[in-house]
Chain A
Amino acid sequence: MFGSFIKKSRAKSPWIMHFDCGSCNGCDIEVLACLTPLYDVERFGIINVGNPKHADVLLVTGTVNHRNKKVLKNIYDQMPEPKAVIAIGACGNTGGVFRDAYNVVGGVDKVIPVDVYVPGCPAKPEAIIDGVVVGLGKFAQKVEEAE
């Protein structure tokens, strides 16, 4: 019984952590807009934490470049399982308009496994919330498979 309560709780309290891999700030303000009273993601139990050790979901915005790919990997490794990664915006998905620049590695999935891609430039808050919900479904599935 307690085990199933834990399982149910996972989807009810996703703590997100937001990492900016050199985005233009467009996607970041949309992520933060989700916390405002208009969208109020806290009603789904979502909290924006600043610490990978407390986070369940990693939201990554911006293109990954050779400088920050180590940081991204490091943050990802510090998150305890089960965890999910959501790439946000054209930049996070593929590298966006910056994909041909000499210092750019590409999308987030070049460095760490990504569960959900949220498109848009910038991604809309509604799409980001949607992405987190889909991500939770995925990570519930992952936990099930691991057991």
Chain B
Amino acid sequence: MDTLILVIIGLVAGPVIGGLVAGLDRRVTAWFQSRQGPPIMQAFYDVAKLLGKEKMVVNQWQILCAWVYLIAAAVSVALFFAQGDLLVIFFVQAVGAVFLVMGAMSAKSPYSQVGAQRELMQILAYEPVLILVFVGIYLVTGSFSISSVWELEQPLLAKMPLLYLALGYALTIKLRKSPFDFSTSHHGHQELVKGVLTEYSGPYLALVEIAHWYETVLVLGLCALFWSTNVFWMAALLIGTYALEILVDNTMARMTWRWMLKRVWLLGMGMSVVNLIWLYAG
């Protein structure tokens, strides 16, 4: 019964938190550029408007792919809130990510195709890091289940600081922020138009957007696990991490996928492996 309630809380809170975070993000970004910026609720207005638009698709695949992406993201957040198994969460969100790429691949438009290739590269870069973070959690707690993290006396961050830094890479890629925003190009009038999202329009774009909110909440939730012992410090950690994320987004140019693979695999996975060896030996 408790699990069911947690699942429902996760399903409802996911988009609400994700949308607010997206709105705040735009607000802070505008502040960086000495502008006023849109209202905090802007992300909800955007999605509501998109839901009310005409349904236009290039082919039927896109409808399926948008829905699977959304459902996978929602299920992974629900599992996270229900204290599920980290590996199951990982596989469910990976299915969603792959379906987004398939939807983009199904259209012939070159923008969408190139965006899909780049999105695949991004998946290739962040998935190993996520897995290594989960392995680290296993080495510390002896289980892949989230509930075991809550039983810890000491925050995870003390045991796996390098893995947290590596998770920062995954967070930047997952949020599609500079310097890793090359699959969707943050601003829609750049070289890629909107990459994977080019061929989605109207309500289907709204579905993809909501799914993206869920994913944001999921990755932020993973970050929250690193200071599970104290709610206050957990909030401070999350706010600090996200503020840093926005700062990086605003001060970096977009890089190439080769740069990303080198950086994330060498630095991100390097740090993770060092941390894992330390955990294993120590």
Contacts and interface: CB of A to CB of B under 8 A. Distances in A.
B230 interface: no
Q: Which of B51, B188, B202 has the most CB of A within 10 A?
A: B188
A9 B201 contact: no
A8 B39 CA distance: 14
A81 B54 contact: yes
Given A12-B49, A81-B53, A51 B198 contact: yes
A51 B38 contact: no
Nearest to B36: A43
Contact of B38 (A10, A43, A81): A43
A20 to B, nearest CB: 12
B48 A9 contact: yes
Interface in A37-62: 37, 40, 42-45, 47-51, 53-54, 56
A6 B35 contact: no
Given A37-B33, A50-B189, A9 B56 contact: no
Interface residues of A, number: 28
B56 A42 contact: no
A13 B202 contact: no
A130 B172 CA distance: 37
Nearest to A44: B38
Contacts of B46: 9, 13, 15, 45
A49 B52 contact: no
A26 interface: no
Contacts of A53: 56, 198-201, 205
Contacts of B200: 53
A40 B48 contact: no
A82 interface: yes
A80 interface: yes
A73 interface: no
Contacts of B147: none
Contacts of A5: 48
B62 to A, nearest CB: 11
Binding site secondary structure of chain B: loop
B60 interface: no
A7 interface: yes
B49 A80 contact: no
B198 A42 contact: no
Nearest to B44: A9
B49 A48 contact: no
B35 A40 contact: yes
B45 interface: yes
B149 to A, nearest CB: 37
B45 A45 contact: yes
A45 B201 contact: no
B45 A12 contact: yes
A97 to B, nearest CB: 28
Contacts of A54: 188, 194, 197, 201, 205
B86 to A, nearest CB: 35
Contacts of A45: 38-39, 42, 45-46
Residue picked from A40, A54, A82, most chain B C-beta under 10 Å: A54
A35 B189 CA distance: 13
Given A37-B35, A49-B194, A53-B201, 12 more contacts: A6-B48, A6-B49, A8-B48, A12-B39, A42-B35, A45-B46, A50-B188, A53-B199, A53-B200, A56-B53, A80-B53, A80-B202
Interface of A: 2, 5-10, 12-13, 15, 37, 40, 42-45, 47-51, 53-54, 56, 78, 80-82
Closest 5 CB pairs of A and B: A50-B189, A53-B201, A6-B52, A9-B48, A49-B188
